[in-house]
């Protein structure tokens, strides 16, 4: 087992000590764990964002460095980050991240047109198209960020709060464009088991993963997006079985931005 996406107390929305996260992964027998705390510089530009504690990147990097020494022989530990994309924060992120030797960077969309899409009021008086289309377009735009990201984070995240299903057939042309771009750029699609309130087992859903595969997509990874110890590697067996049934053979796990392939 492996887990490519987890958060510790260095993220604003987690209180899990880094040590608890890593020791849980070791106890569960994971071969690989990426700690990918939030860098939410996009929220600094959001009209509706509540004030979010921002990542202290030097402190986080130092903590991971120390942990790598402690857990070196027990697990492959990756220094990662989940960078929240927005056009407004793009240059800020790129400049900040270039001074660190990350193993893996996840490129995620949590805000659309400078609005935090986790805030309930975002959905008020909007149609399905008014909610889902700008989100899908933001993902498309995020793929072109000038930053050495490896993984495309949780496509479908908006379904945690949006009262609509997130299916391939509804926006097939846009999804094809996104998947072709991911494949052409050599990026990895994550399957994320942290769905919260959505009527889904993971993001993106089967209709989307299936299409990615049909278009020639091979790079996928497993992500629990755990913010608490009990969620580390959650739903790994379900997602592994699903991926296998759709024709995937490997999960990719990144060290120094290079994918190592783990047989599913
Ligand atoms: Zn996220
Ligand atoms: Zn996350």
Q: Return all residues near 154 (Cβ < 8 A) that are at least 6 apart.
A: 108, 190, 192, 194, 203, 204, 223, 225
pLDDT at residue 48, as a whole number: 87
Cβ proximity of 57 and 96 under 8 Å: yes
Q: What is the pLDDT of residue 234?
A: 97
Centre of ligand 1 to C-alpha 156, Å, is: 10
- Asked whether residue 101 carries a pLDDT value surpassing 80, the answer given is yes
CA 138 from centre of chain:
15
Rounded to an integer, the average pLDDT of 255-264 is: 98
Position 88 scores a pLDDT of 95
- Write down the pLDDT at residue 159: 93
| Domain enclosing residue 165, as ranges | 2-263
pLDDT given at position 55? 95
* Main-chain phi, psi angles of 137, to 5 degrees: -65, -35
**pLDDT band, very low/low/confident/very high, at 197 (cuts 50, 70, 90):** confident
- Mean residue pLDDT of the chain comes to 96
pLDDT band at 198; cut points 50, 70, 90 = confident
Q: Is 256 a residue whose pLDDT tops 80?
A: yes
What pLDDT score does 51 carry?
76
**In this model, does residue 252 exceed pLDDT 80?**
yes
Nearest ligand, CA 11? 2
Question: CB under 8 Å to 46, separation ≥6 — which residues?
Answer: 86, 111, 114, 115, 116
| Closest by Cα among 223, 195, 207 to 167 | 207
Q: Give the CA radius of gyration of the chain.
A: 17
Q: How confident is the model at residue 33 (pLDDT cuts 50, 70, 90)?
A: very high
In this structure, the number of other CB atoms found within 10 A of the CB of residue 97 comes to: 18
Q: How far is the CA of 69 from the centre of ligand 1 (A)?
A: 27
Cα–ligand 2 centroid distance for 257 (angstroms): 18
Q: Over 90: is that where the pLDDT of 196 sits? A: no
Ligand 1 centre distance from Cα of residue 42 (Å): 12
Q: For the whole model, what pTM was predicted? A: 0.97
Predicted pLDDT of residue 245: 98
pLDDT > 90: percent of the chain: 94
pLDDT value at residue 216: 98
Q: How far is the CA of 225 from the centre of ligand 2 (A)?
A: 5
Using the mean position of ligand 1's atoms as its centre, give its distance from the Cα of residue 163 in Å: 19
Q: How many angstroms separate the CA atoms of 191 and 60, rounded?
A: 25
Rounded Cα–Cα distance for residues 131 and 129 (Å): 5
Q: What mean pLDDT do residues 38-51 have?
A: 89
- The CATH number that applies at residue 253 is 3.20.20.140
Q: How many domains does the chain have?
A: 1
Residue in 110, 177, 166, 111 with CA at minimum distance from that of residue 143:
177
Neighbours of 31 (CB within 10 A): 13
Percent with pLDDT over 70 in the chain = 100
Q: Give pLDDT tens digits for 45-100.
A: 999 877 789 999 999 999 999 999 999 899 999 999 999 999 999 999 999 999 99
């Amino acid at each position: 087992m492996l887990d490519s996406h987890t958060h510790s107390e260095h993220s604003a929305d987690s209180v899990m000590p880094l040590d608890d996260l890593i020791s849980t992964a070791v106890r569960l027998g994971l071969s690989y764990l990426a700690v990918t705390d939030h860098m939410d510089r996009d929220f600094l530009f959001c009209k509706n964002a509540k004030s979010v504690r921002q990542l202290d990147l030097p402190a986080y990097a130092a903590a991971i460095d120390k942990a790598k020494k402690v857990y070196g022989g027990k697990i492959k530990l990756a220094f990662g980050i989940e960078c929240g994309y927005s056009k407004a924060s793009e240059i800020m992120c790129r400049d900040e991240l270039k001074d660190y030797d990350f193993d893996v960077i996840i490129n995620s969309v949590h805000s659309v047109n400078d609005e935090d899409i986790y805030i309930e009021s975002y959905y008020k008086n909007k149609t399905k198209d008014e909610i889902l289309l700008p989100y899908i377009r933001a993902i498309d735009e995020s793929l072109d960020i000038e930053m050495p990201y490896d993984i495309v984070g949780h496509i479908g995240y908006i379904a945690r709060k949006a009262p609509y299903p997130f299916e391939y057939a509804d926006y097939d042309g846009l999804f094809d464009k996104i998947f072709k771009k991911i494949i052409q750029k050599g990026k990895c699609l994550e399957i994320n088991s942290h769905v919260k309130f959505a009527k889904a087992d993971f993001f993106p859903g089967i209709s989307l993963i299936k299409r990615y595969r049909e278009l020639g997509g091979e790079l996928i990874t497993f992500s629990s997006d755990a913010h608490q110890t009990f969620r580390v590697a959650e739903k790994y067996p379900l997602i592994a079985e699903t991926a296998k049934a759709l024709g995937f053979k490997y999960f990719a796990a990144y060290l120094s931005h290079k994918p190592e392939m783990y047989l599913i």
